[in-house]
Amino acid sequence: MLLPVLTAYEKEHIAERQPLPQRYLRLSDEEMDVRIAAAKAALGRRLVILGHHYQRDEVIKFADYTGDSFKLARQASTHPDADFIVFCGVHFMAESADVLSADHQRVILPDLAAGCSMADMADLEQLEMCWNDLDQMGISRIVPVTYINSAAAVKAFCGEHGGVVCTSTNAAATLRWAWERGDHVLFLPDQHLGRNTAFKMGVPLDRMVVWDPNEICGGVDADSVERARMILWKGHCSVHARFTVKQIDSIRREHPGVRVIVHPEVSWEVAQAADDAGSTEYIIKQVTDSPAGSMWAVGTEIHLVNRLARQMQPGRTVLSLDQFGCLCSTMFRVSPNHLLWVLEGLVDGVVNNRIVVPDDRKHWTKVALDRMLTIQ
C-alpha cells in the first residue's frame, strides 16, 4: 500500500493536526450553508474570513475579502477589532497573516493539510547553505527576494539579510527596489516568476542563472553567478508548470482571435507564446475591462478561470488554456466542512487549527513583509 506523501509543513505540524470530527462529514450543502452563515452572524465583527481566488466556490462565497496573496496580506492587517482571522488559503498565507496581525488576534487555517509544494522547494537550511556558498564564491551585494509562496523561516532570512518578500502583483517593483540596493538578486522559490518578470524588465536570459539547491554550489560556477543579475532558485508551481506552448497553439487554432493570458508562474516559453501575463488580480482586471465580445484563454488555476467565465457571461467568453483544468489540490483541501468546523468551534470558544509563527522568526518575517507592503 502506498503511503501519502506529506509536505514539509504537514511533517512539521503532524502532531497538531486533528481529524475532521465525524459529525461534520456527509452534511448536505444546504445544511452547511445555513450553519456557516449562522456561525458568521454569531461571531459578527470578531471574525474576518479571507479567501484566495483559487478556493472552491462553496468556500469563497463566505469570504469577507477575496484576492491574491498581495491583496489578502494587506487585508490581514486592516481589521484590528477582529479577534479571529480565518484564512481560506494555504499555510504560507496564514503564516503571513499571523505575522501581520495584532497580538490579540488568532489566525486559523481550516485544514492544516493545505500546504504548497512550491513553498516546500526551499527550506531554511538550503537557503543558508546557498548563502554561504555564494559568499565562498566571492559574490557580494546580493539582495534575497522570496516570493510570498514560501515558509516564514525563509521570509525571516530575507528580512534579516536586507531582502524582501514579493508577490506576482508587485514582483517588478520589488526587483527595481532590490537592484537599487545590490548587483544581484537571489530570487526564490519560483524560478519562472523571477525569470518572466526580469525578462519583461529587459534583463536578458544570459544574465540569469538557475541555482539548484540539490547540487554542489547550486550546480553553477562563480563566473556565471558574478555575471548574473538574477540568481533563480530551482523551484516551480506544480499547477502552472502544466501549461504548454502546444496548448496555446491548439486553442488559437480552435478559436481564432482568442487572447491568451497567463500567470507569470508559467514557463518562459509559455509566457512568450501568450499575449499577456500577470497576477490573478491583473488577469481579472484585463478580462473584466475588455470589450464586449472578447474571447480569452486563461492559464491559471481552474477555480478562478471557471468563476471568471461565469461572471463574464453574457458578453465575453473565458476558456481554460488546459482542457482538463489545472486544479491546486492543496487549496482544494479547504472544504466547507472544515470551514464550518472551525467557525462553530469559535462560537463555542474553541480555537482549532491556529497558525502561530514562532517568536524567533516573527520579527524578521515582519520586516520582510512590511518592506513588501511599502513597495508600489
Q: What is the pLDDT of residues 351-369, one digit of tens each?
A: 999 999 988 889 999 999 9
Q: What is the 3-state secondary structure (H, E, C) of the chain?
A: CCCCCCCHHHHHCCCCCCCCCHHHCCCCHHHHHHHHHHHHHHHHHHEEEEEECCCCHHHHCCCCEEECHHHHHHHCCCCCCCCEEEEECCHHHHHHHHHHCCCCCEEECCCCCCCCCCHHHCCHHHHHHHHHHHHHCCCCCEEEEEECCCCHHHHHHHHHCCCEEECCCCHHHHHHHHHCCCCEEEEECCHHHHHHHHHHCCCCHHHEEEECCCCHHHHCCHHHHHHCCEEEECCCCCCHHHCCHHHHHHHHHHCCCCEEEECCCCCHHHHHHCCEECCHHHHHHHHHCCCCCCEEEEECCHHHHHHHHHHCCCCCEEEECCCCCCCCCCHHHCCHHHHHHHHHHHHCCCCCCEECCCHHHHHHHHHHHHHHHHCC
pLDDT of 9 > 90? The answer is no
pLDDT confidence of 14, banded at 50, 70, 90? Answer: very low
pLDDT confidence of 17, banded at 50, 70, 90? Answer: low
pLDDT of 183 > 50? The answer is yes
| pLDDT of the residue at 16 | 54
Mean pLDDT of 280-302: 94
pLDDT of 7 > 90? The answer is no
| pLDDT of the residue at 313 | 85
Quote the cell numbers at residue 188: 526564490
pLDDT above 70 coverage of the chain, percent: 95
pLDDT of 55 > 90? The answer is no
Mean pLDDT of 76-99: 87
| pLDDT of the residue at 102 | 87
| pLDDT of the residue at 2 | 33
Could you tell me the domains of the chain?
A: 8-117+330-358 (3.40.50.10800), 119-237 (3.40.50), 240-320 (3.40.50.10800)
pLDDT of 124 > 50? The answer is yes
| Average pLDDT score over the chain | 90
pLDDT of 6 > 70? The answer is no
